[in-house]
Copies of this chain bind each other. A is one copy, B any other.
Amino acid sequence: MKDGPDIARIASLIGDPARANILSALMGGVALTAAELAGEAGVTPQTASSHLAKLEEGGLVVPRRQGRHKYFALASDEVAGLLEGLAGLAAHRGHTRTRRGPRDAAMRHARVCYNHLAGDLAVQMFDSLVAEGALDLDHGITLTPKGEAVMAGLGVDLATLRAGRPALVRECLDWSERRSHLGGSLGRALFGRFLELGWVRREEGSRVVRFTGEGLRRFNAAFPRALEAA
């Protein structure tokens, strides 16, 4: 009865409300200090410290010391993807427990998934890249030469990206759209570029991403929404 890997261990890690809040906060993509996370989770610093130690031990978050601060971030894209999946199931059979306010609609439209863009617009971008042949899905998922040109046009420096170890491109599943969007280091770089270009602004203390009017126009021009297959 104890076949595969120990899924109960990590599931129980996420199963505590305080830890779930911590992880949700880290889904914002920015590294946060232990004290900040304590605030997010609504517990005292001692308790948060204990939780963070467990999350670290479990491989869900990674610490980074800086001076007398200790910053935490999600350990990997896979952790982020798993949390998205959980959110999807919870939302799906939510019994309308989570009343969907305006914040919720904004989240579905565009939000940050750990370090890249997610939501309706992210799916649009992914589909557009595939449709114009920038991404190749035949064996795994790879960036085509044409895709490299597209990225260069947007000002994404691929050379330094390739130096990093994490996979350049990776697909990530949306809980709202239930469709793939672009993750990996390329996804992160693109989102960073959107910020630099002023296309988007992050909403403080939330995962919501707001497009400026001009930014949305340029985004739609760069990644036109493809026609749905009949």
Which residues of A are in contact with B by a Cβ distance under 8 Å? 1-17, 19-21, 23-25, 40-42, 58-60, 75, 78-79, 81-83, 85-94, 97-98, 103, 107, 127, 130-131, 136-140, 142, 171, 173, 175, 179-180, 206-207, 226-229
Contacts and interface: CB of A to CB of B under 8 A. Distances in A.
A5 B5 CA distance: 27
Given A4-B207, A7-B14, 8 more contacts: A1-B40, A1-B42, A5-B98, A8-B19, A12-B12, A131-B138, A136-B229, A139-B227
A207 B6 CA distance: 16
A90 B180 CA distance: 23
A227 B140 CA distance: 12
Contact of A15 (B12, B41, B78): B12
A137 B139 contact: no
A6 B24 CA distance: 10
Nearest to A14: B11
Number of copies: 2
A15 B6 CA distance: 10
A215 B142 CA distance: 32
B4 A89 contact: no
Nearest to A42: B1
Contact of A89 (B10, B92, B179, B228): B10
Contacts of A131: 138-139
Given A9-B90, A136-B229, A137-B130, A3 B16 contact: no
A10 B90 contact: yes
Contact of A21 (B2, B23, B97, B130): B2
Contacts of A4: 24, 87, 90-91, 98, 107, 207
Which of A131, A136, A139, A227: most chain B Cβ within 10 A? Answer: A139
Contacts of A103: 3
Contacts of A89: 10, 59-60, 78-79, 82
B140 A137 contact: no
Nearest to A207: B3
A10 B59 CA distance: 20
